[in-house]
Amino acid sequence: MQTTSTVRVCIWGFLLGVALVGCGETTRPDGNVGLLPVGSVAPEIIGEDAAGNPVKLSDQKGKMSVVFFYPKDGTPGCTKQACAFRDAFDKLQQAGVTVFGVSRDSVESHREFRKEHSLPFAMVADESGEAMSAYGVPSKFLIMTARVTFLIDHEGKVAQIWPEVDPAVDAERVLAAANEIAARKPS
């Protein structure tokens, strides 16, 4: 009898540990493991802009895009990160950068989050985790997305990755990197 309860406690402890820590590196649909590497073609994502219109990453060729994955609408770090992209949005647009915020929240959650914080960029409701998986972004704390940012170049390829993001400075780092890439691009 005591062995059965000990086994149950061990199983529940293991499951709780996995839920809190995450499951490590993600296996992508292409069969590789971990974050999509620099130089890879960026997988398609489709978001919704502030007017409710669809925005596709594949339609952004010739421009740069930032795809930032974040855990959850309305949490302190995610709000700080989204608002930093909002505050840098005009500069990002001037640099020719389209912004996509991606989490596993619903379209409705994104609409409320956008409205509450006046977020002007496309938001992707990745409820199934398909985009997260395609980019190799791991889960953290149950099914929430880890905080990872990708800069996509003019050709639709991953130009830079920030696997550990400080929400307060993410937008400024992306802007600096985008300006650097734009300066190197032949006219």
The helix (H) or strand (E) run that includes residue 185 is none
Tell me the domain boundaries of the chain.
25-184
| pLDDT averaged over every residue in the chain | 86
Beta strands in 3-127 (DSSP E): 46-48, 54-56, 64-69, 97-103, 122-125
**Is the CB of residue 139 less than 8 Å from the CB of residue 146?**
yes
Burial of 71 (0-12, 13-18, 19+ CB in 10 A): buried
Among residues 10, 23, 78, 83, the one annotated as catalytic is 78
The answer on pLDDT for 7 being more than 60 is: no
Q: What is the pLDDT of residue 53?
A: 94
Q: Confidence band (pLDDT; 50, 70, 90) for 42?
A: very high
Q: Confidence band (pLDDT; 50, 70, 90) for 142?
A: low
Of 100 and 6, more confident: 100
pLDDT single digits (tens) 127-136: 999 999 999 9
Beta 46-48 vs 54-56: how paired, if at all? antiparallel
Q: Is 78 a catalytic residue?
A: yes
Q: What is the pLDDT of residue 11?
A: 43
d(CA 79, CA 111): 14
Q: Confidence band (pLDDT; 50, 70, 90) for 2?
A: low
Q: What are phi and psi of 76, to 5 degrees?
A: -55, -50
The answer on pLDDT for 90 being more than 60 is: yes
Determine the angle formed by the axes of helices 107-117 and 76-87, rounding to 10 degrees: 60
Q: What is the pLDDT of residue 145?
A: 76
The CATH number that domain 25-184 falls under is 3.40.30.10
DSSP 146: P
d(CA 52, CA 29): 29
